[in-house]
Structure 1
Amino acid sequence: MIKMCVGCGINFRNDDVKRFSTAVALMNTIDPPQLFFKLLNHILLKKLSSENQSFSSLEKERLLETFPMIKNDKLLVLLIDGCSYVFEQALYNALNPEKLFQELTESQSGISETHAQAFQEAWRVKGREYMNTAKEHTLGGPVVLENFDWRLQMQISESDLSKMKIPNVLFEFTTLDYQNKNTETMKPKEENIVVEFTKEELYGFFTKLEAIQNQLDKIS
């Protein structure tokens, strides 16, 4: 993981570095920044749409006419993806507009100050609505957790010298797959998944859950 920003950090994977750098270069070519703000606002409106959140061929054609510095459809998609990525990271880190601007300017993101201001203003206008919309949708896909149970189990480790009891915890997660329904009942397909944790693994798991809860609390 490479940090793109300081503090809580907008970040991206190693294999995304080149694509994002190209997207940033495209962002910085859009002048005046007010024109860039219109693009950002358009992207956020798409994300708030309850229907198709991707740009149609006609919409892309119109955007290419509005932004002649973006030479083709492939570069336009790269630009949109780069802008969307910044907004998604702002959502994940629950950044307010001022913090987003700070993250973009006090880092090695490459985004110019004037274009960072456009991100700040677009996030000020639509950021809260985007956060509220995101809370109402599951982001992980059609499979959701329905229920869970757990039990403690003791394993006996034998050696030449002694017997040692090793405590483990078994979790049974019940999930529902809304895209695969039971042909007889037409209800979502149910699956039980059993996961075993050692004491150390369980501690690490709950530490991550706590971090997730902190992020949700920031958005709420």
Structure 2
Amino acid sequence: MSLMFSSTTSIKKAVDFINELDAKLLTPLLSRILQKIHLKDERSFTEDEEEKLQSTFNLPGHDLELLLETLEFFLQQAAYHLAKPAVLTQQLMNLGINEDKVNIIVEAWTTHAKDVIQKLARRTLAPNQLSDINWRLNLEMANMGRSKMKLPNAMFELKITQDDAQKKEKIHLEFSHDELYAFYNQLETIQKQLDNLD
């Protein structure tokens, strides 16, 4: 397996903080990070919680932030590389993290790995996802100006899921025959371009 972590100045500083932490406090810290790691725009801890952590760990704000970001980085890299416990253990030990802390990090990773990887796999770059399509064909036979006519149109309802399935929205579209045909041709062009990428 490739090297997951490089010993940068920031990581060395964070490693010192990790080594000084009370082992009993590291487990809940990792557990919270692992619960929220798949959420793009959400921090693991609220501002109030971070203030409490600062006093608990006796760290100023920027040092606490470095500690939390480094632990999150370790876990993200473990997920990206689908790290086996033995490999993660060795790479964390190479950074100079004490063995008891390495064991806690690896145990937390091993316990939550499957769930984290599944959540990260479902995460997408686009905030909106098409989740369902309903459609209906209408045929207008007459109106006030004309008694005999055949005017077909198609009605679509697109169900859009936003922000990790928290919000759902429905979009309604109506196409005449010509508009639907033009839209179909555009979709065909997109499909050909996608096929060419394979």
TM-score by length of 1: 0.53
Alignment-derived partner of residue 86 in structure 1: 74
1: distance between equivalents of 2:40 and 2:69?
19
**Alpha carbons of 1:50 and 1:20: their partners in 2 closer, same or farther (altered >3 Å)?**
closer
For residues 143-154 of structure 1, what are the structure 2 equivalents within 5 Å?
A: none
Q: CA deviation at 1:27?
A: 0.6
Higher strand share: 1
RMSD over equivalenced CA pairs, Å: 3.8
1: distance between equivalents of 2:89 and 2:117?
17
1:101·1:120 contact (CA, 8 Å) conserved in 2? yes
SS in 2 for 1:63: helix
1: distance between equivalents of 2:100 and 2:44?
27
Q: 91, 101, 116: which one pairs with 1:115?
A: 101
Over alpha carbons, which structure has the higher Rg?
2
Identity %: 26
Alignment-derived partner of residue 50 in structure 2: 60
SS in 1 for 2:37: helix
Structure 2: 5+ residue stretches without partners: 129-161, 163-172, 174-189, 191-196
- The size of the alignment, in residue pairs, is 142
2: distance between equivalents of 1:128 and 1:53?
21
SS in 2 for 1:135: helix
Whether 1:34 aligns to 2:34 is no
Q: CA deviation at 1:8?
A: 2.6
2:32·2:44 contact (CA, 8 Å) conserved in 1? no
Whether 1:131 aligns to 2:131 is no
**Alpha carbons of 1:38 and 1:111: their partners in 2 closer, same or farther (altered >3 Å)?**
same
Alignment-derived partner of residue 163 in structure 1: none
SS in 2 for 1:111: coil
Alignment-derived partner of residue 17 in structure 1: 8
For residues 143-182 of structure 1, what are the structure 2 equivalents within 5 Å?
A: none
Deviations 1:147-200 (A, max 9, x none): xxxxxxxxxxxxxxxxxxxxxxxxxxxxxxx9xxxxxx9xxxxxx9xxxxxxxx
Structure 1: 5+ residue stretches without partners: 1-6, 145-177, 179-184, 186-191, 193-205, 210-220
Higher helix share: 2
**Alpha carbons of 1:41 and 1:54: their partners in 2 closer, same or farther (altered >3 Å)?**
closer
- Code of the residue aligned with 1:23 in structure 2: it is A
- Code of the residue aligned with 1:11 in structure 2: it is F
- Code of the residue aligned with 1:36 in structure 2: it is L
1: distance between equivalents of 2:105 and 2:96?
13
